């Protein structure tokens, strides 16, 4: 007998969004960070993986959409619950979430450079510490260095700083948040086209907040639209389209290979397609976390959840740990790249799990208080023990 396809309803979406911790986000974080790490390490090792293309850029874009969605969802929940936003508490939670591992990374990588007698790019380090490394990279030609990948963290911090204040003004003035977000996305698109036509640098287009804010705003817009029942029904109908999941994956792969096109096509067309595509993938992933079948098992798999939980640390340390481990394993395995890559990923995940458990979690408890920190993550036991599905705040 042919098995009937699971039908998604507005109630399913409502159930997902009403959870204290939204399911599926850790899985999508894991996918995003794996795209970044595999893309960077394969490029550094001089290996080309045909399906990956510009995988690292897509991975960063997924992080932006997730961040916009989750932060706006939490902020609007607080506003509806209390009638206002405690912006000071929000910034404190953000600092507790982001600063411990970031400062650990900077301290370690700078110390390694000094001990090896290698020069330290102090201008870039200072820019990273004050979260304007994205503009430093844009103005100086995006030279690769020990903190160059921190540009995406700077963009996120700039968004986190601005958006709560904008949102509270909109909510108190009873202005349409959705209309503001749609206009904001359109303005970002227009600005990117203007920059392309005026001959602006790709380093600026790729890293500036005003040219990348549409990712965050798209995530915010999705969270706003899903607060209305009629929109839930519309999105649930969309999720019921045949072959939707396969179509989204194929479209994402096509976007991954956008680097083969001109700057105008990449930033004027492809990047406009990527953001709504990633929002739909986010929505599909959240729904899958509450469903059975193969997709539910994959999204809730303990290994993927573990990778998602440690994705922030993996992103920060993947260059320092990953390249070193890659060269060592390549020598031991006679240049076997797949084996070396697998070993690097295992080393990264285990190292950052240890950092999360014994450094990051205690530091976050000290900075933000125990009530705001999730219990430590245990390693999957024999590959079957399920980790609780939590979205890091």
Write the pLDDT tens digit of every residue in 260-274: 778 899 999 999 999
In this structure, what token pair is assigned to residue 65? 């959409």
Let me know if residue 55 belongs to a domain.
Answer: yes
* Listed residue (104, 37, 114, 94) closest to 343, CA to CA: 37
Task: Say which residue the tokens 């009638």 belong to.
Answer: 83
pLDDT value of residue 50? 63
pLDDT recorded at residue 32: 96
Domain of 104, in residue numbers: 10-372
Residue 3 lies in a domain: no
How much is the average pLDDT of 217-232? 95
pLDDT at 34: 95
CA dihedral (310, 316, 317, 322) positive or negative:
positive
Residue 9: pLDDT above 50?
yes
pLDDT in tens, 53-89: 668 889 999 999 999 999 999 999 999 999 889 999 9
What percentage of the chain reaches a pLDDT higher than 90? 62
pLDDT digits over 244-260, tens only?
888 998 888 888 877 67
Q: Which of 91-95, 145-149, 236-240, 381-385 has the lowest mean pLDDT?
A: 381-385
Q: How far is CA 378 from the centre of its chain?
A: 22
In a domain, 247, yes or no: yes
- Check whether 382 has a pLDDT greater than 50: no
Helices (H), 45-150: 55-82, 87-115, 122-129, 133-140
Q: Is residue 329 part of a domain?
A: yes
* Tally of structural domains, the chain: 1
Both tokens of residue 38?
Answer: 């595999």
Is 25 part of a structural domain of the chain? yes
pLDDT value of position 158: 97
- In-domain check, residue 385: no
Identify the pLDDT of residue 96.
Answer: 94
């Amino acid at each position: 007998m042919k098995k009937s396809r699971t039908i998604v309803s507005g109630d399913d979406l409502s159930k997902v969004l009403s959870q204290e911790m939204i399911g599926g986000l850790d899985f999508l974080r894991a996918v995003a960070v794996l795209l970044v790490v595999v893309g960077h390490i394969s490029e550094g090792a001089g290996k080309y993986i045909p399906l990956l293309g510009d995988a690292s850029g897509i991975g960063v874009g997924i992080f932006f959409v997730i961040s916009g969605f989750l932060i706006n969802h939490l902020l609007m929940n607080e506003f509806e619950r209390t009638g206002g936003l405690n912006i000071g508490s929000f910034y404190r939670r953000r600092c507790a979430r982001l600063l411990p591992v970031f400062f650990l990374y900077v301290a370690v990588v700078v110390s390694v450079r000094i001990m090896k007698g290698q020069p330290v790019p102090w201008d870039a380090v200072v820019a990273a510490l004050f979260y304007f490394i994205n503009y430093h990279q844009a103005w100086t030609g995006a030279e690769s260095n020990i903190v160059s990948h921190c540009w995406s963290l700077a963009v996120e911090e700039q968004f986190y700083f601005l958006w709560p204040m904008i949102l509270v003004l909109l909510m108190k003035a009873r202005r349409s948040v959705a209309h503001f977000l749609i206009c904001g996305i359109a303005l970002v698109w227009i600005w990117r086209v203007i920059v392309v036509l005026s001959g602006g640098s790709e380093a600026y287009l790729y890293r500036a907040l005003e040219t990348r804010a549409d990712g965050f705003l798209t995530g915010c817009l999705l969270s706003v639209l899903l607060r209305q029942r009629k929109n839930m029904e519309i999105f649930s109908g969309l999720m019921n389209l045949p072959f939707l999941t396969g179509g989204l994956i194929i479209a994402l792969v096509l976007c991954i290979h956008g680097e083969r096109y001109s700057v105008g096509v990449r930033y004027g067309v492809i990047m406009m397609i990527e953001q709504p595509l990633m929002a739909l993938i986010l929505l599909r992933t959240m729904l899958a976390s509450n469903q059975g079948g193969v997709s539910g098992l994959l999204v809730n798999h303990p290994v993927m959840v573990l990778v998602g939980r440690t994705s922030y640390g993996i992103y920060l340390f993947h260059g320092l740990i990953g390249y070193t481990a890659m060269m060592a394993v390549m020598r031991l395995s006679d240049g076997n790249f797949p084996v070396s890559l697998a070993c690097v990923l295992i080393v990264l995940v285990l190292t950052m799990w240890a950092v999360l458990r014994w450094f990051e979690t205690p530091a976050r408890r000290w900075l933000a208080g125990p009530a705001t920190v999730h219990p430590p993550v245990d390693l999957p036991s024999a590959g079957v023990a399920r980790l609780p599905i939590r979205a890091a705040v």
